Amino acid sequence: MSPDSKLTVYFFDGQERKDTDALSRVAGRRVAKIIFTVSQHHNLHAVKLVLLDKAFMLSELPSTRETSMENVIAWAMKPGVHTVETPFANIESIVPPETIDGDTGFLVVMTRDAYEAIQMLKDAPSVSERSLPLLPLALGRMMTVLSSRNSSPPSDNTRSAPAVHRGHTTHRPVNTLGPAVGLFVPQLARLSHDLSHLPEQFEKIQQDPVFVGQVDEFINQISASDVNERQCVEALKSFLDACFGPGEWASAASRPIMAGSWRNHIIAEFKELGSPGDPRLQGILDYEQRLSSEENRSATFHFCFPVIILGISGPQISVSSAIMLDGAVRVDYLGIFDLMYGKDPNATLHTIAALFGALIRAAKELKKLHFAARKEPGDPLSALFPHPISPDGSALPELKFLGKLGRDGSLIRPGSQFSQHPAYANYVAELDDKLWAVKFTRTYSQIAHQTLADKGFAPILQGVYMVQEGYMMVVMQLVHGSTLWHWQQIGKDFTLEMRHQLEEAVNLLHSRNLVHGDLRNIMIEAASDSMQVKIVDFDWGGVEGEAVYPARISRRDMNHRWHQEVGPCRLVKKEHDKHLLNLILKSWDESELSDW
């Protein structure tokens, strides 16, 4: 692809049937490649495309070695490329033959957001040094922040259930699944810890009697019987400015709402009691729109924009943390607190003083983080992966995260499939010139895993480490192979040797008085190089009589295949493992292909 090739850009909204039909006919012509970059809400069923990512669709007519989507985008970003910006209108009449015929013409059809995102990427720092596979991700992240720019004001999107659905889940879904926000931003992990241990925090705060006195005065102001809502807001404004420094305040005279922010690392939303809307949700939507601002959007590729969101309604304050991770906003709810004296004024003062002490400390740390990110943009990948730290300061292995872990042991690099499973906390990382699987989980039986690993029936265990937010980081051998469920799906034979290995592994576990608890066919892998059976995922395992099923497991989420005694918080028993093992062996005999 030479820089003097011609790139023609057509804007397409993807919703008019006549436009879709016209595009189909154009796609039928002889063309080196057609790239369609469309918003995730647009529908192009009439054009046969392969979905690569939320922001990208690609049709190869015909396929060529040189013209991958990454190459086309990279080429479009070169300064010497001639770009023609043309309204879509009637594509069949305005597409010049020389543009779509031959091997040098490329027709790019995209929304204005996608086009603007490419222009922004041209100006992004050190973009030429980034690898091509990251460019689709970069453009996707840019389109994410741009998509929220033109949505309705946050206050309008929180006034009713339909409005919440339109503004909260249609414009940019707020993803509350997956690993905790603090796993990616240690400063927010510390805030989460501090808010869970406020009595301990007050022991530090009480050494500053001036600050405790300020908190007491603030509580008295908003607790006075003759104070109105506006006076409460003004008192809160003054107090927050005293805590975090002068903020940027905005209010709408026609609505009983006021909002404040502190250089994008703290967002506060206020609602009068009885007024419609949710200040916490509004703060999240406000955060999304701030990502699209001129000041912020150029840095969205290399920074996850950690923020504290305060939602204040009357005498209550909610605290949340948020980041933008791989094109989706991730939010953790950290708690709600009363700001008025109750039956135990002393305890209230202790709690509120400790609360704002923790918020002030976190705000200072985030301010430094934001400043550093703007001054020296970091590795683009660092914004996508966890940053584990040890709560007690002990050393952790120096892992270099490369991508997420696929079910078959494959490495899913940032790009096409990276954001499809946001709840997954399994990654691939490099350590000592080897690739390892890295799993983050709240519970894990190291002894059960190690017992089987010693005999080759589980991946080699490099180590299990306590990290922030109550997670355990499990570093283990990266097994290339397929689960037994996948073997069933493709009709591969389950050899007699593999059956014996599986039975031997379960018997070994039980002989040590250990249980697994989740012996489904998707938890059992067969290594592609040796056909060695490997049991994985020891989250529910442990010593029989001590290991219990998680509280969130429910019969509604389980099918008839589970042992009838299995349930929330119940003990895991050997007979439960045997029950699942027998079902696995039976399913092979009967060729049952369900995923269980």
Do 426 and 541 lie in a common domain?
yes
* Same domain as 326, residue 187: yes
Q: Are residues 157 and 129 in the same domain?
A: no
Element holding 534 (H helix, E strand): strand 533-535
Check residues 522 and 154 and name the one with the higher pLDDT. 522
Q: Residues 333, 415: one domain?
A: no
Q: Residue 124: is its pLDDT beyond 70?
A: no
The parent domain of residue 74 ranges over 6-147
Q: Please check whether residue 389 lies inside any domain of the structure.
A: no
CA distances to 139, 230, 277, 292, 313 from 259, rounded to whole Å, are 30, 13, 13, 18, 12
In a domain, 595, yes or no: no
Same domain, 156 and 120: no
Tell me the per-residue pLDDT of 189-202, one tens digit each, with 9 for 90 and over.
999 999 998 888 88
Do 434 and 479 sit in the same domain of this protein? yes
From the CB of residue 395, how many other CB atoms can be counted at a distance below 10 Å? 7
Q: Is residue 596 part of a domain?
A: no
Out of 113, 147, 181, a domain closes at: 147
* pLDDT (0 to 100) of residue 560: 62
Q: In 3-state terms, the chain is what percent helix, strand and coil (to 5)? A: 40, 20, 40
In terms of Cβ atoms closer than 10 Å to its own Cβ (0-12, 13-18, 19+), residue 424 is middle
Residue 85 has pLDDT above 50, yes or no: no
Cα separation of 99 and 34, whole Å?
11
Domain boundary among 129, 147, 165: 147
The alpha-helical segments, DSSP class H, found in 479-564 are 484-490, 496-511
Instruction: Enter the DSSP assignment of 152.
Output: P
pLDDT > 60? residue 68: no
Give, in degrees to the nearest 5, the angle at Cα 421 between 298 and 122.
20
- Residues 50-71 have a mean pLDDT of 32
Strand partners, 252: 257
Instruction: Say whether both 430 and 468 belong to one domain.
Output: yes
**pLDDT tens by residue, 545-580:** 999 999 877 655 566 678 889 988 999 999 999 999
Say if 301 falls within a structural domain. yes
pLDDT score of 579:
94
Confidence of residue 495 (pLDDT cuts 50, 70, 90): confident
Q: Is residue 1 part of a domain?
A: no
Which of 118, 147, 176 finishes a domain? Answer: 147
Task: Tell me how many domains the chain contains.
Answer: 3
Average pLDDT, the chain: 70
Question: pLDDT at position 164, please?
Answer: 52
pLDDT digits (tens, 9 = 90+) for 293-341: 656 655 666 788 899 999 888 788 999 999 887 666 788 999 999 888 8
Same domain, 557 and 542: yes
| Secondary structure, 3-state, 208-246 | CHHHHHHHHHHHHHHHCCCCCHHHHHHHHHHHHHHHHCC
Residue 394, in any domain of the structure: no
Residues 141, 186 share a domain: no
Residues belonging to the chain = 596
In terms of pLDDT, which residue wins out, 244 or 535? 535
What's the Rg (C-alpha) of the chain?
28
Same domain, 240 and 365: yes
164 membership: H or E segment, kind and range: helix 161-164
Instruction: Answer yes or no: do 373 and 461 share one domain.
Output: no
Give the residue with greater pLDDT, 216 vs 19.
216
For position 571, which CATH number holds? 1.10.510.10
- Domain assignment present for 574: yes
Residues 525 and 445 in one domain: yes
In this predicted structure, the answer to whether residue 1 has a pLDDT above a threshold of 80 is no
pLDDT tens digit sequence for 444-456: 999 999 999 999 9
